[in-house]
Amino acid sequence: MKEYDVFRLTKDLNPTLPKGSVGTILIKYSDDEYEVEFIKSDGTNIEHEGQSTFCISKDYIEISWADNSTQNGRI
C-alpha cells in the first residue's frame, strides 16, 4: 500500500464512514499506519466532527486501485 492508492474500508471508521466507504491514501507513515481522506461524489471531502483526514491502521484498508504511475520510471 502506498500514497494515492484507492481503498475500501473493511470496518466502520465512524458513523459517517461505514464499512465499504472509498478513500485515498494520502500519507504512508509506516507499514501499519496511513493518513487517508474520503471524497463525496461532488468532489468535496467527507468530514466527521470537523476532521477531513483520518489516521487509520492497515486493518481498515482493502486496496481497490493501486497508483502505478511512477513504476518503471514513468511519470
Q: Are 13 and 24 in contact (CB under 8 A)?
A: no
Distance between first and last Cα of the chain: 18
Structure-block grid coordinates of residue 52: 477531513
Structure-block grid coordinates of residue 8: 475500501
pTM of the model: 0.85
Give the span between the Cα atoms of 72 and 57, in whole angstroms: 28
User: Per residue of the chain (75 residues), what is the pLDDT tens digit?
Assistant: 999 999 999 999 999 999 999 999 999 999 999 999 999 989 899 999 999 999 999 999 999 988 877 655 444
Identify any residues that bridge with 48 across adjacent strands, giving them in sequence order. Answer: 51
